[in-house]
């Protein structure tokens, strides 16, 4: 979140058209939009790589989208059809196939226009229908919080991706156009969407290798999230651009001249680092802008892989390489399929200069990533990028099958989206890519889940090390297993991969649930016995009757909840027993309940129960009752009761701040009311503001005593020298008695204010 002092007004951000990145690679000429026909820019793009028949089929999808959205408009006031057309244009610049472009045009018709998936399938085929359904949100499901809904929507999108990666390409294009047109939204919504973009969508684009889309998503999100920072850095980059223009031109020309002199044909181009990339480096390394010297990088594109290595030697003979800054992503590609040689040189002006060397084919994959697999009719083989993407999606499926709620799944995905890689070797020489900081435990789970579950030790470079040991580039790792071994809870503190974390959690949950079910069954059997019931005699109908009450799906879940203390066994036992109208039976079981409570709860709590006899709990007679100390309810106050493990029924006033979260847990509510004959002394807190004078405290204490009340505790807090705040904990019979005491206190001439204190 931006600092409070930072403005979040919309800023003018230059859109980075894909034609300057991917389009440049694909040789697409610029397209001028036609104001009278929203489909004209899309048609111009499609005509460059599709047949007239295919363009006509895309036109059918456009016409359906136009009719479906009808008079709908976006918040900016423009017709809604402009949005799906813009999304389709982004994908057409990537030269994606006809089905993807059709799905992009139709991606909102299921969610916003009521058109069925089946109807789309009949008209455009199941491939298009599946993609549109995968992009659509879970519109028919209601969630308690925005975070839960967001997590479940992402879960659905990732699962749809596992069936067809093109789903996420459409979603990325959809998010990109929304980011381009976000200026009309409120500052709060711009911040929320921008944060989501930086946390999820830009990393997905990075993971799939779609460089052009990732760059623009990051720039737009950064400009909306921190507009002042973006503007300041952008101006600084412009100023530096003018100062270093001559140096960039000199290095570019020197590289070209040396390569031509050696007889190599190559394309050499200098590029400027993007603002968000510079900002991230400043944040990560704690550097000032003036300390960042490598604002420019140079790209050399050659004919084949062999030439890449030859050119590397020539460039190293021209400028001295900086030790430790060379990376070979051709021999060991990145997890998203990216391949290139990276080297950092000491330039002619004493500044570091980064040079990337790659082939034309590698450059296409670097810009379009997994989308290069669908480059229309190019006949090119981009199997590596797609294989890596499929492997990542397969890991997501494994995370899904290991259980956990949607938010836990999204947390695991986020962990997996930020891999700063370490490359290690298996005993057989296979290379595995792991996030930096990964341990031997992460390696074990990367090999196979069973290997991780049974790991007991590790050999790294033929030396035994603890499983918690972090791994380094080039390590050879061998895991020692034992069938009797199992995951340890402490592993959750050291693992960094999503697969390892979710596997350990899944195992621990399975073990914990088994133990919890056993304990819950024992507790419930005792509770039923105390009520004269029998666990073995419960019918299936009895279980079905109460499952919905406690928001669980099966008997095992209910028992586990009892065992883990989430549900109180006596309350569950009451619900399980058949309902009877005979109140005499309830009175007879009250004594038994008290005996059961004495066995299940600490003696201190039993003494508290004995003090609070006047409170009547309808339907749960005999349960222990605790008056909350935060709001100190007294007879006459409107009250609410909640089941709490180890405390029984905890009673709060209905306006207590501490019960906000409990209001969502209806299965823990207990219907409570004060008994009309309740009597006794109940602690309650009041605050009196009085003049700072001799004898004031004595006068107030005497009056409280005269009103048939005692003082349990006093706190004195001097204020401004003229007045003193005095907080009393007094004993009151009920709400009327308290009101009488407070009226008497207000009648004293030295008292300025009297109020009851809660929370």
Give me the domains of the chain, ranges plus CATH numbers: 39-225 (1.10.3210.10), 229-375 (3.30.460.10), 507-576 (no CATH), 615-674 (no CATH), 682-756 (3.30.70.260)
What confidence category does residue 101 fall into, taking pLDDT thresholds of 50, 70 and 90? very high
Measured CA to CA, the distance from residue 172 to residue 167 in angstroms comes to 9
Measured CA to CA, the distance from residue 537 to residue 544 in angstroms comes to 14
pLDDT average, residue stretch 575-583 = 57
- Greater confidence (25 vs 308) lies with 308
pLDDT average, residue stretch 567-576 = 77
Q: What is the separation, in whole angstroms, between the first and last Cα of the chain?
A: 29
Confidence at residue 569, expressed as pLDDT on a 0 to 100 scale = 77
Confidence at residue 179, expressed as pLDDT on a 0 to 100 scale = 92
Confidence at residue 615, expressed as pLDDT on a 0 to 100 scale = 47
pLDDT average, residue stretch 105-133 = 85
Confidence at residue 595, expressed as pLDDT on a 0 to 100 scale = 45
pLDDT tens for 471-515 read: 887 788 999 888 878 887 778 878 888 778 878 877 777 766 677
Confidence at residue 160, expressed as pLDDT on a 0 to 100 scale = 57
Q: From the CA atom positions of the chain, what is the Rg in Å?
A: 35
Q: What is the pTM of this model?
A: 0.52
Confidence at residue 367, expressed as pLDDT on a 0 to 100 scale = 74
Confidence at residue 10, expressed as pLDDT on a 0 to 100 scale = 38
pLDDT tens for 656-709 read: 888 776 666 655 676 677 877 777 788 999 999 988 888 888 888 889 888 889
- Greater confidence (373 vs 103) lies with 103
pLDDT tens for 176-218 read: 999 998 888 888 889 888 988 887 788 878 777 788 888 899 9
Which residue in this structure is represented by tokens 């007094």?
Answer: 730
> For the ranges 27-41, 163-177, 733-747, which has the lowest average pLDDT?
27-41
How many residues would you count in the chain? 759
Measured CA to CA, the distance from residue 390 to residue 496 in angstroms comes to 21
Confidence at residue 607, expressed as pLDDT on a 0 to 100 scale = 38
Confidence at residue 456, expressed as pLDDT on a 0 to 100 scale = 85
pLDDT at 150 over 90: no
Confidence at residue 507, expressed as pLDDT on a 0 to 100 scale = 78
pLDDT at 602 over 60: no
- Greater confidence (32 vs 149) lies with 149
Which residue in this structure is represented by tokens 């499952």?
Answer: 547
Between β-strands 615-617 and 455-460, what pairing exists: parallel, antiparallel or unpaired? unpaired
Residue 138's φ and ψ, nearest 5 degrees, are -85, 75
- Greater confidence (397 vs 280) lies with 280
- Greater confidence (317 vs 436) lies with 317
User: Which are the catalytic amino acids?
Assistant: 111-112
The H-or-E segment that residue 731 falls in is strand 723-732
Confidence at residue 730, expressed as pLDDT on a 0 to 100 scale = 92
Q: Are 455 and 483 in contact (CB under 8 A)?
A: no
Q: Are 296 and 273 in contact (CB under 8 A)?
A: yes
Buried b (16+ CB within 10 A) or exposed e, 314-328: bbeeebebeeeeeee
> For the ranges 62-76, 181-195, 210-224, 361-375, which has the lowest average pLDDT?
361-375
pLDDT tens for 243-270 read: 667 778 888 888 998 898 888 888 888 8
> For the ranges 87-91, 296-300, 643-647, 738-742, which has the lowest average pLDDT?
643-647
pLDDT average, residue stretch 303-318 = 90
What confidence category does residue 587 fall into, taking pLDDT thresholds of 50, 70 and 90? very low
pLDDT average, residue stretch 62-67 = 90
What confidence category does residue 104 fall into, taking pLDDT thresholds of 50, 70 and 90? very high
Most confident of 183-197, 328-342, 395-409, 608-622: 183-197
What confidence category does residue 582 fall into, taking pLDDT thresholds of 50, 70 and 90? very low
Q: Are 215 and 274 in contact (CB under 8 A)?
A: yes
pLDDT at 113 over 60: yes
Confidence at residue 58, expressed as pLDDT on a 0 to 100 scale = 92
> pLDDT > 70: what percent of the chain?
74
How far from 294 is each of 269, 350, 376, 461, CA to CA, in Å? 15, 11, 36, 36
Confidence at residue 378, expressed as pLDDT on a 0 to 100 scale = 42
Q: Copy the structure tokens of residue 517.
A: 């079910």
Which residue in this structure is represented by tokens 């039976």?
Answer: 585
Confidence at residue 386, expressed as pLDDT on a 0 to 100 scale = 54
Measured CA to CA, the distance from residue 538 to residue 145 in angstroms comes to 36
pLDDT, averaged across the chain = 76
What confidence category does residue 312 fall into, taking pLDDT thresholds of 50, 70 and 90? very high
pLDDT tens for 451-466 read: 888 888 888 888 888 8
The H-or-E segment that residue 465 falls in is strand 463-465
pLDDT average, residue stretch 159-165 = 65
Q: Copy the structure tokens of residue 697.
A: 């405290």
Contacts 24+ apart (CB under 8 A), 603-609: 605/646, 605/647, 605/648, 609/648
pLDDT average, residue stretch 560-572 = 73
Q: Are 69 and 112 in contact (CB under 8 A)?
A: yes
- Greater confidence (583 vs 397) lies with 397
- Greater confidence (285 vs 411) lies with 285
């Amino acid at each position: 979140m931006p600092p409070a002092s930072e403005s979040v007004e919309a800023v003018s951000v230059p859109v980075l058209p894909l034609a300057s990145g991917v389009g440049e690679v694909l040789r697409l000429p610029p397209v001028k939009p036609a104001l009278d026909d929203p489909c004209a820019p899309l048609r111009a793009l499609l005509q460059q790589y599709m047949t007239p028949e295919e363009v006509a089929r895309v036109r059918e999808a456009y016409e359906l989208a136009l009719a479906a959205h009808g008079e709908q408009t976006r918040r900016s006031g423009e017709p809604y059809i402009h949005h799906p057309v813009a999304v389709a244009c982004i994908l057409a610049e990537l030269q994606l196939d006809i089905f993807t472009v059709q799905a992009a045009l139709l991606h909102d018709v299921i969610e916003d226009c009521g058109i069925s998936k089946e109807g789309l399938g009949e008209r455009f085929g199941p491939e298009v229908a599946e993609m549109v359904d995968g992009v659509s949100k879970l519109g028919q499901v209601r969630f308690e919080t925005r975070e839960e809904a967001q997590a479940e929507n992402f879960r659905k999108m990732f699962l749809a991706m596992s069936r067809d990666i093109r789903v996420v390409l459409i979603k990325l294009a959809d998010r990109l156009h929304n980011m381009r047109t976000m200026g009309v939204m409120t500052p709060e919504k711009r911040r929320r969407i921008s944060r989501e973009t930086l946390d999820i969508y830009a990393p997905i684009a990075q993971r799939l290798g779609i460089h052009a889309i990732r760059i623009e998503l990051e720039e737009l999100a950064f400009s909306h999230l921190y507009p002042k920072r973006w503007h300041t850095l952008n101006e600084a980059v412009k100023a530096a651009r003018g100062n270093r223009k001559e140096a960039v031109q000199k290095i570019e020309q020197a590289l070209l001249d040396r390569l031509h002199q050696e007889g190599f044909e190559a394309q050499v181009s200098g590029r400027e680092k993007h603002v968000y990339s510079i900002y991230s480096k400043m944040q990560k390394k704690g550097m000032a802008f003036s300390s960042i010297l490598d604002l420019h990088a140079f790209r050399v594109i050659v004919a084949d892989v062999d030439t890449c290595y030859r050119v590397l030697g020539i460039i190293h003979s021209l400028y001295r390489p900086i030790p430790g800054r060379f990376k070979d992503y051709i021999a060991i590609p990145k997890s998203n399929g990216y391949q290139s040689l990276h080297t950092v040189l000491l330039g002619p002006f004493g500044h570091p200069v980064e040079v990337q060397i790659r082939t034309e084919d590698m450059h296409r994959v670097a810009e379009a990533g997994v989308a290069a697999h669908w480059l229309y009719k190019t006949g090119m083989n981009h199997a590596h990028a797609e294989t890596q993407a499929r492997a990542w999606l397969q890991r997501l499926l494994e995370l899904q099958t290991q259980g956990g709620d949607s938010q836990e799944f999204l947390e695991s995905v986020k962990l997996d989206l930020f891999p700063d890689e370490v490359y290690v070797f298996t005993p057989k020489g296979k290379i595995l890519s792991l996030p930096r900081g990964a341990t031997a435990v992460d390696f074990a789970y990367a090999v196979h889940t069973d290997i991780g579950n049974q790991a007991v030790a590790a050999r790294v470079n033929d030396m035994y090390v603890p499983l918690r040991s972090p791994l380094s580039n080039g390590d050879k790792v061998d895991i020692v297993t034992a069938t009797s071994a199992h995951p340890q809870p402490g592993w959750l503190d050291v693992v960094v991969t999503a697969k390892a974390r979710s596997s350990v959690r899944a195992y621990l949950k399975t073990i914990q649930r088994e133990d919890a079910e056993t304990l819950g069954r024992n507790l419930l059997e005792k509770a039923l016995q105390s009520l004269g019931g029998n666990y073995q005699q419960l019918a299936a109908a009895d279980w079905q009757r109460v499952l919905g009450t406690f928001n669980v799906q099966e008997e095992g879940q209910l028992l586990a909840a009892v065992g883990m203390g989430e549900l109180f066994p006596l309350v569950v036992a009451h619900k399980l027993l058949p309902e009877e109208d005979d109140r005499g039976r309830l009175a007879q079981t009250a004594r038994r309940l008290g005996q059961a409570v004495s066995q299940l709860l600490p003696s201190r709590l039993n003494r508290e129960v004995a003090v609070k006899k006047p409170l009547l709990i309808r339907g749960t007679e005999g349960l222990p009752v605790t008056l909350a100390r935060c709001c100190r309810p007294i007879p006459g106050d409107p009250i609410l009761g909640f089941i709490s493990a180890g405390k029984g029924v905890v009673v709060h006033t209905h306006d207590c701040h501490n019960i906000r979260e409990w209001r969502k847990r209806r299965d823990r509510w207990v219907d409570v009311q004060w008994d009309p004959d309740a009597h006794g002394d109940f602690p309650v807190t009041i605050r009196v503001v009085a003049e700072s004078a001799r004898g004031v405290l004595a006068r107030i204490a005497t009056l409280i005593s005269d009103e048939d009340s005692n003082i349990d505790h006093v706190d004195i807090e001097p204020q401004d020298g003229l007045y003193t705040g005095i907080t009393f904990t007094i004993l009151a019979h009920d709400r009327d008695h308290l009101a009488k005491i407070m009226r008497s206190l207000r009648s004293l001439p030295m008292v300025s204010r009297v109020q009851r204190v809660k929370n």
